[in-house]
Amino acid sequence: MTLETLPPIEQPGQAVTDFFGTSFPLMARYSQMLIEQGQLRGLLGPRELPRLWSRHLLNCGAAEKFLPIGKNATVADVGSGAGLPGIVLAIMRPDLQFYLIEPLGRRAEWLEEVKAELDLQNVEVLRSRSQDLPAHQQFSAVTSRAVANLNKLVRISGNLVAPGGIMLAIKGERAPEELANAREALFQAKLEAAHIEQVPSLIDDSVTRIIMATKRA
């Protein structure tokens, strides 16, 4: 399936424009970059592009309201890939400093290109695996999406959450099962009050599920 034979890509309506607010123009530019290069560079599958706004951009944006507030707050996005959710959240929250952690060279290059094209001054790309970062490097919030099951995710990135910080993992329908299976890993990582937040979509009847946990201070 080529770009020419794709079904029409959904267009953001007024509700989506209002949701992203002042960040919408940049989000639209980012969406265009994904439309033009996402499939060609192996960042998104062809069946995902027609639902780019509902399946990806809104899905990622749902986590924004759970991010910390504070002048010195930092966010690490683990396995950032196409920039979902890291780029989306960085566009929405220019007041926060984002570190996009991506071990694969081609994807890290893509993230650098997006950063430059959109002039995202609050973004730094770290070409590394999360578990290879210095032990002292910690963040106010650690986000992820489609990286690994929660049990593994906590084991490879739980140490990145600063005391009092939060982990935000965007998950699918198996979120309750993943949470139940990760209780021991969460305990070992000192991540407490783990629960699932559900955010309804603005476009369809889907729901974004976000597993949240707070690092013991």
Place of tokens 């890290």: 108
SS3 percent helix, strand, coil of the chain, rounded to 5, is 40, 25, 35
pLDDT at 116: 98
What are the tens digits of pLDDT across the range 39-79?
989 999 888 888 999 999 999 999 999 999 888 999 999 99
What are the tens digits of pLDDT across the range 113-127?
999 999 999 999 999
pLDDT at 135: 84
pLDDT at 79: 96
Mean pLDDT of 93-103: 97
192 — pLDDT class (breaks 50, 70, 90): very high
pLDDT at 70: 83
CA dihedral 156, 64, 83, 116 (to 10 degrees): -120
**Average pLDDT of every residue of the chain:** 94
What are the tens digits of pLDDT across the range 4-34?
566 788 889 999 999 999 999 999 999 999 9
Mean pLDDT of 148-174: 96
CA distance 116 to 132: 26
pTM value is: 0.94
Mean pLDDT of 165-184: 97
CA dihedral 69, 74, 79, 83 (to 10 degrees): 60
Place of tokens 């780029």: 87
CA distance 213 to 191: 6
Mean pLDDT of 152-158: 96
Residue 1 above 60 pLDDT?
Answer: no
Instruction: Set out the domains of the chain in order of their start, with CATH numbers.
Output: 8-215 (3.40.50.150)
pLDDT at 6: 61
